[in-house]
Structure 1
Amino acid sequence: MKVLIISLNYAPEVTGVGKYSAELAEWLALQGHTIRVITASPYYPEWRIKAGYNALTYSTEQINNVSVIRVPFWCPKRPSGLKRVLHLMSFAVFASPAALWQIAWRPHAVWLVEPPLFASPVALFAARVASASCWLHVQDYEVDAAFRLGILKGHVARKLALRVERWLMSRADVVSTPSAAMTRLAVQKGVSSEKAFTFPNWVDTQHAHPNSTDNPYRAQLTIGHGALVVLYSGNLGLKQGLEIIVDAAKLLTWRADIMFLICGAGPAKDVLLEKARDVPNVKFLGLQPKERFNELLSAADIHVLPQLAGAADLVMPSKLGPMLSSSRPVIATANEGTELWSVINSVGVAVEPGSFTALSHAILRLADDPSLRERLGTLGRQYAASNFSKETILLQFEARLRSSVLGKRDLGDRATT
């Protein structure tokens, strides 16, 4: 098959959507498919264009048997509110000519990652003209998230945005999301159940696995062998509620054996650094190379996953799978009844969103109970292997993609007879 992927984020980004879009494209290429990707220059999560790339021009490159087309876009230094909307819109505008140019290539499928939903019209048009299947993959319901988190406001604006979203989603041949709750929401938004598909963010359990050897990060950060490390690793976003980690650390300064490690990059990093300036049990690390990913996960005794209540079932955190796969217990902030709560409540510890007191109590509970840490770590690893296996998930995706493409061909054949 020839597959055209439109994804704002892509390799060499090592976190978030870019990681998964690149792994998907490269896996499909290894299966013998021909893949072209329309994307932006790498910028995430630092919100700074990576050296060697230019966000003002079109360019092409070849990465692991995948043809990559880079398009211009606007990358704000401090993404918030209207700036984030304009950022997404800029990519959609400049990706449109590139997508239209690919119609002559006659792809069998056009695969678009949301956000940005703004790119849906050109993806739908290109797929229609090329007689291709159009697949929309929703990593984040950007419309709902923007209004729930206060980035966008107004009843009329919300009603109009949801109506446009509904119209666009209903016209895709397949709409997928990373979680069952998000897939149910897609159906509520007007996607027929036959078109809806759950496509989880996977984890390579061979790459993210338990490691009991001496950890180089502990030596690098001068963390003693007897200390317990509470780790958050990932994007440091302004709307994730990460301040709760520093607040919990402040409550636990009396425990000299508990150290907090915050690893990553993003617009909230300066805020967190300032908040933790006089907090002795908090250390920071920048974004780490993917080659050291497993070492980083294994540096933890406990993983924490803060999540704002307003975003509960609008996005399933992609970092959850690797955390569970590391055989370390996970504490997540999630309201009862959400999908994240259902997962964590069975293999980890779920606490009230926004409550640093509840988070600190959960940390103390695990810190003082090694057998519980081991049991939950084992359960988490088993859950990751059963539900987030890379090969299983991608084989199921490939089968559905083939089905969608064949279904589109059959419709075309009937239309011409």
Structure 2
Amino acid sequence: MKDKGVIVTGHPYAYPYYFKVFTFVDKAKFIFVLPKIWRARLVIKLEKIAGFKIYGLNALSYGRQSFFGGQFKGWLPGILWLLPYLRLRYQPRVLYSCSEPNLLTTLFNGLVAKCFGLRYAIFTWQNIPAENRLHGIKLRLSLFLVRLNLWLADGVICGNKKAELIVKQLNKTIKTAIFPLSGVDVERFKPGLVSDWKQRLNLFDHKTILFYGALDKRKGLNILLDAFKIVQDQSSKLVVVGRGPEAEKLKQQTSLLGLGGRVIFIDWMDNAKLPELLNTADIFVYPSVPVGGWEEQFGYAMAEASACALPVISTQTGSIAEVVLNEKTGILVEPNNSTALALALDKLLADRALREGWGHCGRDYVVENYSHKKIAEQLTNFLFNL
């Protein structure tokens, strides 16, 4: 009975780099119901992939700026009519909804799953208790919805250890597992790739520090610029890749600090090009800071950097310590502390052997714990044993 198939739904898997984890599962046992089009920073159109059973539906909401203020993010109402057909044709046993328990989308999917006699699994990244993020009527409504979704669910995949603690505080008996929704492509993100980025960015004879991600307040890049101003190796270069609301402020700060000749800003870059850029760098830095009841929930960029055998400097906040092992694969400092960040940069910039040693330890750690193959094994074991 437990060998029957799983229906997978949820807007995160509209992204090809998240979906790739399923290339490591038994494709015959998985059916996918995903948005035909997903509108975020980029517009993603669903494509058929050989060997996969993929069904596209229209999404009614894409998040905060659309229907019902984000509570219906990723909602595919058509699943109500599609599910009877899938139930009859494939006889699945489980519906896995990759959506947070504080969403009405998750509630809708749970009710549909139970109506058709399916086991139900959901996913959560949330590593900050609701009491620390909300208050008043919003807190009460959110807790009610989360408890209801946990009551409907037969299992919860938690993207980090703190998320599991929160789930268990609300439902002590529910089955849980800890792993991210997808893994890292360790065959693409690996050391030793040939790259022309040093020539293109004129980085020869310069130790290079790299960041990529969203240029918003949560990433702490203003702190990084302050730290970079005072590092001992004044010939080092900082490459910042990404887009976001803080981009212009960060460029202005760079000019005010007199760092114009040492900091290089690159606009958004396709994920496929990042491995070569990572192989150009000496250190990856990700100075995440807590903002408005949010803290870093995983950090794929850090895991990708480690997979390329780069040492990582980040902060002691959120769930970063699950991705970066302090003094083993990198250095973790207090958030919002430019002096501590500068000292960490100095330590690694001055010691090539340490950079290489921690970098290789980081790759081993990511391959063993966060590769697509490893996450696919955990995902399969969890869903087929609900």
What interval of TM-score do these two structures reach, taking the shorter chain for normalisation?
A: 0.7 to 0.9
- 1:178 matches 2:159: yes
1:197 aligned residue: 177
- 1:168 matches 2:149: yes
- Structure 2 CA distance for aligned equivalents of residues 235 and 308 of structure 1: 13
Give the counterpart letter for 1:118 in structure 2: L
Aligned CA RMSD, in angstroms, stands at 3.1
- 1:176, 1:197 within 8 Å by CA — same for their partners in 2? yes
1:382 aligned residue: 364
Cα offsets for 1:7-28 (capped at 9, x unmatched): 22344x46xxxx32x1234444
1:8 aligned residue: 11
Give the counterpart letter for 1:269 in structure 2: A
Greater RCO (CA < 8 Å, at least 6 residues apart): 2
Give the counterpart letter for 2:120 in structure 1: C
Query: Paired residue for 1:246, among 200, 203, 225?
Result: 225
C-alpha deviation, 1:61, in angstroms: 4.5
- Structure 2 CA distance for aligned equivalents of residues 387 and 198 of structure 1: 11
- 1:332, 1:344 within 8 Å by CA — same for their partners in 2? no
2:78 aligned residue: 98
Cα offsets for 1:305-352 (capped at 9, x unmatched): 222246687612222321211111110111599744873343211101
- SS of residue in 2 equivalent to 1:343: coil
- Counterparts in 2 of 1:138 and 1:335: CA distance versus 1, 3 Å: closer
Query: Paired residue for 1:41, among 37, 40, 48?
Result: 37
Q: TM-score, normalised by structure 1?
A: 0.78
Give the counterpart letter for 1:5 in structure 2: V
Query: Paired residue for 1:67, among 54, 61, 75?
Result: 54
1:260 aligned residue: 238
Give the counterpart letter for 2:81 in structure 1: W
2:314 aligned residue: 332
- SS of residue in 2 equivalent to 1:38: strand
- SS of residue in 1 equivalent to 2:186: coil
Q: TM-score, normalised by structure 2?
A: 0.83
C-alpha deviation, 1:394, in angstroms: 0.9
- SS of residue in 2 equivalent to 1:400: helix
- Structure 1 CA distance for aligned equivalents of residues 56 and 28 of structure 2: 20
- SS of residue in 2 equivalent to 1:287: coil
- Counterparts in 2 of 1:26 and 1:376: CA distance versus 1, 3 Å: closer
- 1:221 matches 2:224: no
1:125 aligned residue: 111
- 1:113 matches 2:98: yes
- Structure 2 CA distance for aligned equivalents of residues 70 and 356 of structure 1: 47
Deviates more, 1:269-278 or 1:315-324: 269-278
- 1:71, 1:91 within 8 Å by CA — same for their partners in 2? no
- 2:34, 2:55 within 8 Å by CA — same for their partners in 1? yes
- SS of residue in 2 equivalent to 1:327: coil
- 1:309, 1:334 within 8 Å by CA — same for their partners in 2? no
Query: Paired residue for 2:254, among 276, 281, 284?
Result: 276
- Structure 2 CA distance for aligned equivalents of residues 156 and 87 of structure 1: 16
C-alpha deviation, 1:183, in angstroms: 1.8
- Counterparts in 2 of 1:287 and 1:183: CA distance versus 1, 3 Å: same
1:415 aligned residue: none
C-alpha deviation, 1:301, in angstroms: 0.5
- 1:330, 1:344 within 8 Å by CA — same for their partners in 2? no
Cα offsets for 1:356-376 (capped at 9, x unmatched): 221112111111111211121
C-alpha deviation, 1:40, in angstroms: 6.5
C-alpha deviation, 1:377, in angstroms: 1.0
- Structure 1 CA distance for aligned equivalents of residues 22 and 116 of structure 2: 20
- Structure 2 CA distance for aligned equivalents of residues 140 and 318 of structure 1: 16
- 2:8, 2:30 within 8 Å by CA — same for their partners in 1? no
- 2:30, 2:53 within 8 Å by CA — same for their partners in 1? yes
Cα offsets for 1:194-240 (capped at 9, x unmatched): 51111234223222111264x312222222x2111111122334433
Give the counterpart letter for 2:271 in structure 1: K
- Structure 1 CA distance for aligned equivalents of residues 265 and 309 of structure 2: 22
Give the counterpart letter for 1:108 in structure 2: R
- Counterparts in 2 of 1:337 and 1:109: CA distance versus 1, 3 Å: closer
1:79 aligned residue: none
Number of residue pairs aligned between Structure 1 and Structure 2: 371
- Counterparts in 2 of 1:137 and 1:257: CA distance versus 1, 3 Å: same
- 1:361 matches 2:361: no
- Counterparts in 2 of 1:245 and 1:337: CA distance versus 1, 3 Å: closer
- SS of residue in 2 equivalent to 1:346: coil
Give the counterpart letter for 1:128 in structure 2: K
- Structure 2 CA distance for aligned equivalents of residues 357 and 179 of structure 1: 29
- Structure 1 CA distance for aligned equivalents of residues 222 and 53 of structure 2: 39
